[in-house]
Structure 1
């Protein structure tokens, strides 16, 4: 692989594992709109919400009726709702702030993926992709479901039976490729014939068809956050990027104008012609050497990068391409398969879920350079000839003269109003849930009682006058009277025990003390007691004086 291709200076993308999150066995993840909260579905049926700034658990959503593994999690547009699909065929809608369950619907088949309507703040409609049947629109208020067509001939008579969707070798395949567009008025569905269908989900009508070269089964369909690019991963081990030519806000109305410009009478050919003016192939990504299958492909937050994980078991590899089609980095983690991937909406951070249930956080490896101490300091790799400026030694250099500013100093500065977020289409009237309030956890009552009981016993023993405290009170007063004045200031409440110095220490202290005491023999009062310390009144130092015997 060429060095310029993997040059880290080429772009701002993650490089190393910065941290990992651990809570049970996590299976799938999803960021909220701002990337401040991370939702993770676990194998025990619970959904954990992490505060991504502090890397702590902010809330845990648990339903007693659901004990099966979570297959997907999805945030609403403004973060007030979370939709969770589970392996027990259930869809559960949660209120994030209160942690209460809004509704729970049980389908006929297991939903492998569920997505809330992205156009409304409090969505009541979702798109579910069951295990072995066509995608469906689910009304979360009533529980009614509407199956979407998966082929053009099935428009008038519903959806074909699941037995029709099989691989060439006869094994049935899983149809999970479906997603909303940015506004939510259209649904893009991938079928087993290698076709992308654009469907009006309200009228259950196929509007356009885009065939894929080779006719391989489409496994994933993902839109970029800005809605300008569509990613399609197929069974031929190729990731294709399409450019969306439809308007982002009113894409459904644009099909009327497209249909009028096309004069084809055949329904299939007309839909292909409309589809060619709706999506255009932009780029293809694949590994020509290993020919590996891809798992959980997605865009970066700004749409400049495309990532996908290797579907091989026993390896944790994440491939990063730029939008031009160049492979810029391969991230290698522990020897664990990848279950799910997500790119942070704002920062260059990738979050991956491993087979063991851990969530790894990949970030850029920033190297600190402490060689620059001045603002104008420049580090040189080799010697250079310095050429001084013409005005370098002038009293008032021209480069330091302040140019007159064109700004009017009398203008008022607005510090109250907030400018609209440039990267988001948020409605300023709608309050967005970015953080969850911190709820302190109380201590366990048993441990609290034990702590209170032990502290009360300690207080009672000090006041009741145990034999140890009485002895310390009597002997402590005498010891304080014989010790230095600094110990008398403590009031006799604490006994300061002195460590007996060694023989060598006594000799060194005698030599150090006797020298300054020679001219002051008449004024100093030293009591020569065996192995006891006395206080020199003139110097205030502890002096250890021996009786001249060998054992001192």
Structure 2
């Protein structure tokens, strides 16, 4: 066991910076394929970077104020940008123009703090305004609506309403299945809404005897949907097991954190956090004003601290884990995007069987039969035997799995299948056309 822990090839989280993109970004997020990164900028534009070529392939120019959030549809065709200019824009990357064609524009009456696509249908969006109001926007022709998410008050008496302060929503996210919406509030509680009915099915108070929770600043889910982590103003990240919900919602149900993550020495706050694709690691972006630090915790090993990644002196403002690989995109306060990876030392022994790496020169002794020509009949028999071996081409059973890797239990769940009615145009297999600018200085 000790050998496996010390083996560097068993490390499945990034440890070094592979490349830096000078983007002027406020934050950056991988697309579901992991090939592209979308960065929101303070000048109202968003940039799509191709990580294979390290080049900007699309400029999304449609806002007049800073971009506050960026999200991708499940097959990366559509990009959702929200801005302080009160507008929400859906961009179609399948268009052959730069900037891409606007697929839809939705305007609100306040600056937008964040916006997210529904995991199963990009025509359904979750929008949080800077005023603390959250809306579900449905652009489908048969379901077109804009519904505000509100806490029900009719079951409480007047005295209870007076003593319980109004909770402004500070963060709102879909769960990976899209069935529920989780909203953190300024009073430290978590509200849960049914996405289809827009009704509240749970209100949770975080039970923590060590410190007061304060306002919730962020919510993230593991890809499986069974784990949730929150970021609060008390400078603590808390992980919870996501409960199941029925039609009867619990007015005041306490939930206890499974793990608590913080910096006991510097008591630093956190800008963002992100789970690894397998949910075994958690990355926390520290709000250190003098350094760029990412803390890594081993969720599979009882949440133990694993490592601190140092990205230099440009403070960190955002962090996002690659959807399928051990890679992280972190954004600095100067707008640079750092792509972290696992540095792998070349092992020449992997290119040929029996090849042995040595540190010093040694005299080679040739075997007597080393260069003998192998009998062709024996070679043919060996190849036939190898071909007869069964190969598992199906791999792990993917029944009930979605394109983003989320496994859904209950194929006939009305609250989940509701989003599949009138599907969007984000079909699997589409290709983005790479645009090459004309050389204006050419002859």
Q: TM-score, normalised by structure 2?
A: 0.75
Specify the alignment match of 1:79 in structure 2: 76
Shift, 1:360, TM fit: 1.0
Specify the alignment match of 2:17 in structure 1: 17
**8 Å Cα contact 2:36/2:49 also seen in 1:** yes
Specify the alignment match of 1:364 in structure 2: 342
**Match of 2:38, SS?**
strand
Distance across 2 between alignment mates of 1:418 and 1:15: 29
Asked if 1:127 is matched to 2:140, the reply is no
**8 Å Cα contact 2:348/2:355 also seen in 1:** no
Asked if 1:184 is matched to 2:184, the reply is no
Specify the alignment match of 2:414 in structure 1: none
Asked if 1:223 is matched to 2:225, the reply is no
- The 1:245/1:11 distance shift into structure 2, 3 A limit, reads farther
Shift, 1:281, TM fit: 3.7
Deviations 1:316-374 (A, max 9, x none): 11111111311211111121222221111122111111111111111112223458886
RMSD (Å), alpha carbons: 4.0
Deviations 1:370-406 (A, max 9, x none): 588863355689xxxxxxxxxxxxxx9xxx9969949
The unaligned stretches of length 5 or more in structure 2 are 360-373, 405-424
Aligned length: 387
**8 Å Cα contact 2:274/2:320 also seen in 1:** yes
- The 1:219/1:8 distance shift into structure 2, 3 A limit, reads farther
Matches within 5 A, 1:30-179: 30-63=29-62, 66-98=63-95, 99-120=100-121, 123-140=122-139, 145-149=146-150, 153=153, 175-179=169-173
**Match of 1:367, SS?**
coil
**8 Å Cα contact 1:81/1:96 also seen in 2:** yes
Specify the alignment match of 1:498 in structure 2: none
Deviations 1:473-527 (A, max 9, x none): xxxxxxxxxxxxxxxxxxxxxxxxxxxxxxxxxxxxxxxxxxxxxxxxxxxxxxx
Asked if 1:306 is matched to 2:282, the reply is yes
Could you say which structure has the greater relative contact order, defined with CA pairs below 8 angstroms and 6 or more residues apart?
2
**8 Å Cα contact 1:309/1:318 also seen in 2:** yes
Asked if 1:205 is matched to 2:174, the reply is no
Aligned mate of 1:268, from 234, 243, 251: 251
Asked if 1:436 is matched to 2:417, the reply is no
Asked if 1:329 is matched to 2:312, the reply is no
Distance across 2 between alignment mates of 1:310 and 1:115: 24
Deviations 1:241-270 (A, max 9, x none): 122344xxxxxxx614xx4xx9xxxx625x
**8 Å Cα contact 1:6/1:329 also seen in 2:** no
Shift, 1:144, TM fit: 5.3
Deviations 1:416-449 (A, max 9, x none): x99997996229x9732575222232222xx44x
- The 1:406/1:130 distance shift into structure 2, 3 A limit, reads same
Specify the alignment match of 2:293 in structure 1: 317
**8 Å Cα contact 2:113/2:129 also seen in 1:** yes
**Match of 2:258, SS?**
strand
**Match of 2:251, SS?**
helix
Which protein is richer in strand relative to its size? 2
Distance across 2 between alignment mates of 1:147 and 1:56: 39
**8 Å Cα contact 2:30/2:329 also seen in 1:** no
- The 1:327/1:319 distance shift into structure 2, 3 A limit, reads same
Shift, 1:155, TM fit: 7.8
**8 Å Cα contact 1:37/1:435 also seen in 2:** no
**8 Å Cα contact 1:29/1:72 also seen in 2:** no
Aligned mate of 2:234, from 221, 231, 236: 236
Specify the alignment match of 1:426 in structure 2: 403
Deviations 1:449-472 (A, max 9, x none): xx3xxxxxxxxxxxxxxxxxxxxx
Distance across 2 between alignment mates of 1:156 and 1:205: 16
**8 Å Cα contact 1:58/1:436 also seen in 2:** no
Q: TM-score, normalised by structure 1?
A: 0.61
Specify the alignment match of 1:342 in structure 2: 320
- The 1:155/1:216 distance shift into structure 2, 3 A limit, reads farther
Shift, 1:115, TM fit: 0.4
Aligned mate of 1:353, from 325, 331, 351: 331
**Match of 1:330, SS?**
strand
Shift, 1:183, TM fit: 2.1
